[in-house]
A and B are shown apart, each in its own frame.
Chain A
Amino acid sequence: MELVTPGFGLIFWQLVTFLIVLFLLTKFAWKPIMNALRERETSIEHALSAAEKAKLEMQGLKAENEKLLAEARMERDKILKEASDAGNAIVESAKNKANEEGARMIAQAREAIENEKRAALAEVKNLAAALSVDIAERILRKELSDPQAQQALAQDYIREVTLN
Chain B
Amino acid sequence: MKKLFILLFSFLTITAHAASSEGGEFRPGDMITHHIADDYSWHFADGVVLYLPVVLIDNGQFVSFSSSNFYDENHNLVPYRGYKMEHGHIYKVNEAGEPIEGYKGLYDISITKNVASMFVSVALLFFVFFSIAGSYKKNAGKAPRGMQSFFEPIIIFIRDEIAKANIGPKYERYMPYLLTIFFFIWFNNLLGLMPGGANLTGNIAVTLVLAAMTLLITVFSGNKSYWGHIFATPGVPKWLAPIMIPVELIGIFTKPFSLMVRLFANITAGHIIILSLFSLIFIFQSIAVGPLSVAFATFMNFLELFVALLQAYIFTLLSAMYFGGAVEEHDHVDDMGHGDAH
Contact = CB atoms under 8 A, between A and B. Distances in A.
A33 B205 contact: no
Interface in B184-225: 184, 203-206, 208-210, 213
A22 interface: yes
Contacts of A12: 107, 109
Contacts of A43: 141
A14 B208 CA distance: 10
Contacts of B15: none
Interface residues of A, number: 34
B169 to A, nearest CB: 14
Given A5-B204, A28-B130, A29-B129, A22 B176 contact: yes
Interface in B124-144: 125-126, 129-130, 132-133, 136-137, 140-141
A9 B208 CA distance: 13
Interface residues of B, number: 49
Nearest to B119: A17
Nearest to B107: A8
Interface stretch (A34-42, A68-76, A134-142, A149-157): A34-42
Contacts of A26: 176, 180
Interface of B: 33, 36-38, 55, 87-88, 107-112, 114-115, 118-119, 122, 125-126, 129-130, 132-133, 136-137, 140-141, 152, 155-156, 159, 172, 175-177, 179-180, 184, 203-206, 208-210, 213, 264, 268
Given A17-B118, A30-B180, 15 more contacts: A3-B33, A3-B36, A4-B264, A7-B112, A7-B203, A10-B112, A22-B176, A24-B126, A25-B180, A28-B129, A32-B133, A33-B129, A34-B172, A36-B136, A37-B136
